[in-house]
Structure formats: C-alpha cells, structure tokens
Amino acid sequence: MDNRAITELTASDIAARVRDGRLTASTVVDAGLARIAEVNPQVNAVTVVLADRARAAAADLDERIARGEDPGPLAGVPISVKENIDLTWSATTSGLPFAADHIPPANATFVDKLLAAGAIPVARGNMPDIGLRWDTDNDLFGRTLNPWDPARVPGGSSGGDAVAVATGMVAAGLGNDYGGSLRLPGHAAGIAALRTSAGRVAAPSRAVEPLPLSIQHMAVNGPLARSVADLDLLFGVMHGADDFDPLSVTVEHPSGYDGPRRVAVTVDPCGWGVDPVVAAAVRSAATALAAAGWEVEEAAPPAVDRCATIWRQLSSTENAPMLLTPGVFPGPLSAGTVQYFKDNIVDVQLLDTSSAYQGAWAERFVHAAAWRAFHARYPVVLGPVTTQPMPLIGFDLSGPAATTELWKAHRLLVTANFLGLPAVAVPTGVAGNRPLGVQVIARQQGEHIALAAARDIESAFPPVAPILPRG
C-alpha cells in the first residue's frame, strides 16, 4: 500500500493489519508523518510532531510482534493528543505561551491505557487557549484552518485533533468536551466524535487541584475518529476509574445494544430556529434509523432552553473571576479569548449570589430527572450538532449578539454537557463544501446505546473527506 492509502485506513483496519503482519507499525507511523509534512502546513492542526518518539515506539512494537507478543487492540494506530491532555513526550500547554515548557511528570491515565494497547502518539493537536472558544486559535501556535472551507472556523476546542483526523494525519485523536468541544469540531471536519458520560474517562492530568463544579461535572475526555466503530474501540480502552480522579467510575461497556430501539427526533430544539440544510440532515438521519429498525418519532426532549441557559450561566459565573480579574490567572490569555469571554457574559445573568448559584445546581437535578424519564421512553435523542452552519472566522469576536447567537445554535450540544450525558456526532454527507451531520444522545453510562444508533446512521451515508493533495 502507498502512504496515502495507509492514511485513509480506519484505526480498526490499521490495528488488524499490524496485528496479522500485513503492515508494520513503522510503516504506518512513517506514512502518518509523511502526511503531516504534506498537509499540516496548509491547515496548522498539528502543533508538535513527535517523530522520533513515535518511530521508536513503532520499532519496539514491531519487535514485540516478531517475538510473538500480543501488541494490543490498537496495535500501531497513530493518534494525536490535544494540547491540554498530559503526555510526557511534550509540554501540556493548553495553547498558552507561558506554558510552552510545562512537561508533565506523568501521562494522563487514559493515555497510558492507549499506549499499553498499542496506540502511538505522533502529534499534538491545536486548541484555543484553555479551550474556552468554539474556534481553534491561540498566541502560541496560531490558527487551525477548516480543511473544507478555510474562511470558516474549524470549531473548538478540539479543532486541531479533528482536522488532523479528517485529513489523514492521524487515525484518531484525543480531546475533551465542556461545551461541545469534541462534537462541534468533529462535525465541522466531517468525522465522528464521542462525548463520554461524566466520569467514564478519567481526568486529562493526574495533577490534583481545585476545579470549578462545572468542570467537575460537565467536562469529559473522549475520542475523535473516522468511523463510529473506531470510537467504540478507543472508548473500550480509555474508560474506567483512576485513583487520581475521585469522580471517575468503572462501568461495564457492553459490546452492543439489544434494548428498546426508540428515537426521539428534535429538528429545532426548543423552537429557536434551524437552518434548512441542518433540518434536512436530521430528518435524513431519522430516515436511516427507521430503515434500520428503530421506532422514530418527533418528540421534544425536556427543557432544552433551561438546560442550555443554566449551562451558560454556570460556566460564565465560574470562569469570569478567573479570566477577567487581574492577577488571578497565572499568565496572559490571547486577546481573542479575552474579547470572546467579555462579549459572552454581556447577555448572561450571572449567578452572583449564593442563593442563585445554589438554585442553578438544584434545578439541574430536576432537569436530569426529566431527561432520565424521557430516555426511559426514548433511549436515543437525535438532533443537530449545531443548528447553523459553521461561522466565518471572526464572527465570535464581533460582539455580544454574536456570542449569544452561537450559544443558541449550540443549545443541544451544551444540554448534554449540562446533564453529563454521552453523545456521538456522526457525519451524514456533504452539501457543497459543507459536511453535514447529527448527534445522538443517550442516558448516562449509555455510550453503547448512542454508538449503536450512530453506527446505523453512519451505514446509510458514504464516508466524507475534505479534498487535499495526495501523497
């Protein structure tokens, strides 16, 4: 196989071929590194190339296979690791110039699990500084470009890893999701992404430090890949409790789903408006699920307006003192992140009294109970990732009205975060130079349910990829 053909393989295909000797891990890594050299100058998705360490890891894996050892379920799979996930091979910068030399003392536990399973990090993925924009740009590494349309944002905050996967630089990426930061860039890139349930994948660092409650309960780590089967494979390795993360849990991950196959379709969540192309994509996914034997019904999930509103209030209230009070954050943020956050809180009723703050968390319990009951009737909720096309670069810095418009477009995204629910973004084709897609949301610990529905959607549509030069 030539290099380009190798970089078009899924993670599952690569692992199978390395395990049975049709490919070596060294050949796969070299193909990925060649693709990075070819494509990354155009899109700036990869921040650090880990060539020497990746080649050494691949050679070691090949030697182990030659000795008859089991190389693991991810044998030779090249991955990217987001800049805010600890990997001792390079600094964990979170896109911050003052953190450029912050080499972590240990890997994140789920990174160690992936390494033990045979995965090989070949690059770091770009992100907005500290991950608090729906775009990917920072003062340390610069802007990542959307490979489908460079005039539009690639989404954030796991934008670098999403673009790296979509363009064949890696077979899978590792990112995180506090307000859609896996699903939105995955959607923008035309690939699949899994937002895991709160606690299913442990923290991105073994360092223990005080964290805002919204980070504790709404931020998760998960994979991006070019197929839903790859998400399942990666999650099966990544999940599980960590002694360093007191909120992490170990729950069995079933290999399939044999429960009730009912789907609630929400084309325009809470009636705030939806782009016609987005609406058509949701309905086409609903048709695909019906053809696969699911019972499909248009039904509104509970209180998306309140869930999205409280997510914005909590995230803004908790982050404002850290980001906007001089001397609190340990170093400078980019002008874009500061401007975005200042604009974002203009239209937010901050929870600036203890009773308001406590009341928001108390209300979360009510909505979580309503969604639990709704999922008992409809195990899957199908809806848009975002109700509008990906915006042009700079839109999120054009004033408070723009930040509010973005939040409204992402209302179903942040509802899943607010409630700690698992969700899969899955592509459904292309319209012009715009990848289409949807998300499916399941109950807590129901990753296998969301993945099953996403597989059936995926099987109805041909895979998509941006058109970039061949190697």
Count the neighbouring beta carbons within 10 Å of the beta carbon of residue 331.
9
Q: Which of 181, 205, 248, 315 is catalytic?
A: 181
The rounded radius of gyration (Å) of the Cα atoms in the chain is: 21
Torsional class of 190: left (φ above 0), alpha (ψ -120 to 50), beta (otherwise): left
Is 227 assigned a catalytic role? no
The two tokens of residue 295 are: 């019972």
The two tokens of residue 82 are: 């987001």
CA 271 to chain centre: 26
Beta bridge partners of 382: 265, 440
Is 255 assigned a catalytic role? no
Q: Which of 12, 26, 80, 82 is catalytic?
A: 82
Which whole-number Å values give the CA distances from 95 to 100, 339, 342, in the listed order? Answer: 8, 16, 19
DSSP 191: -
Beta bridge partners of 380: 263
Whole-number Å distance between alpha carbons of 90 and 47: 10
Whole-number Å distance between alpha carbons of 278 and 144: 24
Is 398 assigned a catalytic role? no
The two tokens of residue 73 are: 């379920």
Q: Which of 12, 80, 157, 334 is catalytic?
A: 157
The two tokens of residue 55 are: 């080649």
Which residues are catalytic, by number?
Answer: 82, 157, 181
